[in-house]
A and B are shown apart, each in its own frame.
Chain A
Amino acid sequence: MNRPNKILHYVARRLMQGIPIILAIVVMNFFLLNLAEGDAVDVLAGEAGSATPEYMEKMRAKFGLDQPLPVQLAVYLKNVVQLDLGYSFRHEMPVHELIFDRFGATLLLMTSTIIIAVGFGILLGLLAAVNLNTWKDALISVFALITYATPLFWVGLMMIIVFSIKNDWFPTSGMENSAAFYEGFDRVKDIAHHLVLPTITLSLFYLALYTRMMRASMLEQYGQDYVVTARAKGLSERRITFVHVLRNALLPVVTMAGVQVGALIGGSVIVESVFAWPGLGMLAFESLFARDLNLLLGIFLLSSVLVVAVNLVVDVIYCILDPRIEVN
């Protein structure tokens, strides 16, 4: 078999393997979530102030919560197989609508964060490794250490105080201006304006991670035999760094980025909460406390599908970055 064909074959097989994994995740999540005391009816009735037991029984019957757990699970699995994520009784809306409503915001924040974090992380790590043990290296390392160690919520709040309240440069929170309701290109500009602070806050944390990783990875590659060979061959340091070392040093960073894309899809509860960014993280967080299990299971399902998919993509990128890695 030739190489592209082999890759396609590999992808197809991995996808087939992914299905039982995802089903297993669904079943596990279902039972884990049902371990929690109280159900959606308790929360709804509690918020309402008061409700009669008959009313609560009626609601349980309507939500299907009066059925035994295995029956509830069977119903849920049957729906999932038919690509129906069920209904959120709390929101009186289908789960897929609720999720896709929020998915855009999450995707926006996630993409901009990954681009900035990975991009600048690689750049800073490279700079630090090339200028090993100089003041530049020290400065970058200290910066990475501080941003990595600072709690996200604190960074977020400081951003708001400095760049929104003290200096009127950015809005405090939200995804768009809810007094003006811009349309067309103005709306794009408005959303981008709102995106800046949450992206920087979330990026800082991951940026530190990639910087440190890239630096270590570069240094490791510099010690390899092929670098010695390259030097013996008379290649310039510049060419060694950018053509040989950099390419190899990227592998672990790509692995890490892959893992984190999965995590980021789940959203960042802290950043979303501080900046009132309407992503999936807050939705999941709120549905946990509301015991809105259908919605929560839907979000988990989406995350697990994406994690499986992203891992697959990372494996394929591996092959492209390093032709020595074989798929089989």
Chain B
Amino acid sequence: MKITKILNAVMMTAAITFGGGAVYAQQSGGSLVFLVQPEPPTMAGYVSTSGPIGLLGPKIYDGLFDYDNDGKMIPVLAESVDMSEDGKTVTFNLRKGVTWHDGEPFTSADVQFTIMDVLKKVHPRGPNSFKEVSSIDTPDAHTVVLNLDNPAPYMLRALSAYESPMVPKHLLEGEDIKSAKLANNPVGTGPFKFTEWKKGQYIRLDKNESYWKEGRPYIDRIVGRFIPDASTRASAMEKGEVLYAAYNAVSNVEAVRLNKEKDNISITTDGYSMINPMALIEFNTKEGPFTDAVVRRAISTAIDRQFMLDTIFFGYGNPATSALSSNFAATGLHAKMPHYPANGDVAAANKMLDDAGYKKDSDGVRMKAMFDLIPYGEDWKRGGQYIQQVLGEIGIQVELRYEDVPTWLKRIYHNYDFEMNLNYFYQLADPVLGVHRHYGTNMIRKGTHFVNSSRYSNAGLDALLGAGMKEPNAESRSAIYLEIQNILARDMPVVNLFELEFLTVYNTKLKGAYGSAMGAYSSFGDAYLEE
């Protein structure tokens, strides 16, 4: 399997660079002000994958690769990657002549340090992404050899600047990485340098004049503005004070209105395929009314996913059809499963519960439960209200509970003091990275957020997850994941609702910012403003 020289990707970039140049005249200069919501706590993208950090970090730090909208790898700090026959040795050939913003050269030692001492140790997802990496050799300053215990094909999907930013060894070595000064004074190799952070107002980044890519970036300055009020964010977009807003920083209702009313404002759902957000309900499978899989299947059957999407999320999204997102279909890892109707079937759900012996009392109630809602805004409250209504129709009376973020996190992931919980998870670029954490027995971790809160444990499934992780052959891998999806459609510790589509709202004078699958979490090195 010695082949993976990413020539196609190089060609692709070349096409974007030169081909694009022939048609449009990229203009240099200008300030790009965009919305960052909410204000991030720090800029340490190597410690936290929090959304607002993702909006800024990749402008400052580069990854080894980026991904285009078809999922092809675009070389960034690595010019190419080779994988050995057995998949256990991965070699990166690094770009030469790259320097950090403070002038120090970027070398293989930085990559080694980043992966072994930062990502594998303190990054929230890094320990999974680089789980199999046992050691790293640096034969010369521009070659990095990763030695793996087992093949880890998914690792190559986690090399973007957002997921695995490359950080400077000379500024972090010997420091406590989580509290190092770098968190508030980032120094990367990316197209923009950190200049100033006015708390409560903005973060300002200025052009990196010695960026490795000739003629880039085009834009002189990027400013991430913080505006707490949603209506004001929409007004600032409408007025042209900000030019770009991703991850629903401008709400769907306003985005659709602006797109319709203003000639210079457009919307897109591109740029989220590597994030892959999935709305879902987590059930407590250990205690309470939902220990029986039949009830969970009935709930999945009753919910009208398309209705929820159309009425609450303006139609942006697709009904879930399995435990895995249909975005994995490209790699053959997705299959449509039973009990995942797009349009709910209340009669069938009632019959399932009747057959299982759950009798309705004189008020038509079979069981009562508390329903927790993710405290991330009004849309989720409305979603909860719809589900409350439809569950009433099948004799499950639920009461809604909406708390603040810390209380909710503690309840679901530490105290397990819940019965069902509306939530969404990022399934990321591969099931190993985003989905395994939800179902594996080893992911029942008290106090760790966004893992297996259902406390569902199935030795058969664990074995399949383990096999899926290591299987290098695409066909065998898709067979394994078919079996996984079958088990999860039967047991349903989690009911997936729909694949969310976030909206990016942008002013049409901003061009060239849409070539990366990472969307808003990309570098904006190729973006330019057309005045």
Contact = CB atoms under 8 A, between A and B. Distances in A.
B partners with A: yes
Interface of A: 36-39, 42-53, 55-56, 59, 62, 89-93, 98, 101-102, 105, 153, 157, 160-161, 164-165, 168, 171-176, 178-181, 272-276, 278-279, 282-283, 286, 289-291
Given A161-B235, A173-B236, A47 B410 contact: no
Interface stretch (B47-55, B360-368, B388-396): B47-55
B198 interface: yes
Given A46-B449, A172-B236, A93 B228 contact: no
B409 A286 contact: no
B33 interface: yes
Interface in B37-60: 38-39, 41-42, 47-51
Nearest to B38: A286
B265 interface: no
Contacts of A39: 406
A289 B404 contact: yes
27 contacts: A36-B406, A39-B406, A42-B410, A42-B414, A45-B124, A47-B41, A47-B48, A47-B50, A49-B48, A49-B124, A49-B426, A50-B124, A50-B449, A50-B450, A51-B449, A62-B178, A92-B42, A101-B198, A101-B199, A102-B199, A157-B231, A165-B235, A176-B201, A180-B31, A275-B232, A278-B200, A291-B406
B451 interface: yes
B202 A178 contact: yes
Given A172-B239, A275-B232, A42 B41 contact: no
A19 to B, nearest CB: 30
Contact of A37 (B125, B231, B407, B445): B407
B339 interface: no
A50 B451 contact: yes
Contacts of B50: 47-49
B235 A172 contact: yes
Interface in B172-214: 178-179, 183-184, 198-202, 204
A157 B232 contact: yes
Given A46-B406, A48-B47, A172-B239, A179 B31 contact: yes
Contacts of B404: 289
Contact of B405 (A46, A49, A161, A278): A46
Contacts of B179: 62, 89, 92
Interface string B227-248: 1110110011011010000000
Given A48-B50, A53-B445, A276 B225 contact: yes
Interface of B: 31, 33, 38-39, 41-42, 47-51, 122, 124-125, 127, 178-179, 183-184, 198-202, 204, 221, 223, 225-229, 231-232, 235-236, 238-239, 241, 403-407, 409-411, 414, 426, 437, 445-451
A38 B417 CA distance: 13
Contacts of A53: 445-448
A48 B228 contact: no
Given A37-B407, A42-B406, A172-B235, A50 B41 contact: no
Nearest to A181: B204
Contacts of B411: 37
A91 B198 CA distance: 12
A174 B199 contact: no
Contact of B39 (A181, A275, A286): A286
A91 B235 contact: no
Given A165-B239, A174-B225, A52 B445 contact: yes
Interface core residue of B39, B183, B241 (most chain A CB under 10 Å)? B241
Nearest to B40: A47
A173 B223 contact: no
B165 to A, nearest CB: 14
Nearest to B241: A172
A49 to B, nearest CB: 4
B67 to A, nearest CB: 19
A201 to B, nearest CB: 12
B32 to A, nearest CB: 8
Nearest to B404: A289
Contact of B235 (A44, A173, A180): A173
Contact of A164 (B178, B239, B410): B239
A157 B204 CA distance: 27
Candidate in A91, A176, A272 with the most chain B CB atoms within 10 angstroms: A91
